[in-house]
Amino acid sequence: KYVLLANLMYDITTACTSIVMQDNNGTIFHGRNLDYAFPDILRNATYIGDFQRGGKTSFVVTTYASYFGVLSGMRPNAFTISADQRAVGAVWENVASAMLINTSRPLGFLVREVTSTD
């Protein structure tokens, strides 16, 4: 039950912020935070995953242990992506809507699909 909760936590709580900036040399930086109320737990469970195909990096993610989705990812020389907070409706309305739409799935799973697809 804890793994299921970890994989639905973002969709239920939605709390993160990202920033994208470019320096004078044209280098683009993409940063984000995880605004959860339990930073000590996440600090010890967060890692950078380097997913490879044929010995080359296909995509890189920042995620936490037991989470199968992706909230922050990067495809080298292509793009970066992050899921961030959205404040639309009450939690129960969002959950009900997701359950009634048969194409709904957790956001992190969609971001993982986008990040991992060639």
Write out the catalytic residue numbers.
16
- Three-class DSSP labels, the chain: CHHHHHHHHHHHHCCEEEEEEECCCCCEEEEEEECCCCHHHHHHHEEEEEEEECCEEEEEEEEECCCCCCCEEEECCCEEEECCCCCCCCHHHHHHHHHHCCCCCCHHHHHHHHHHCC
Residue with tokens 């936590």: 9
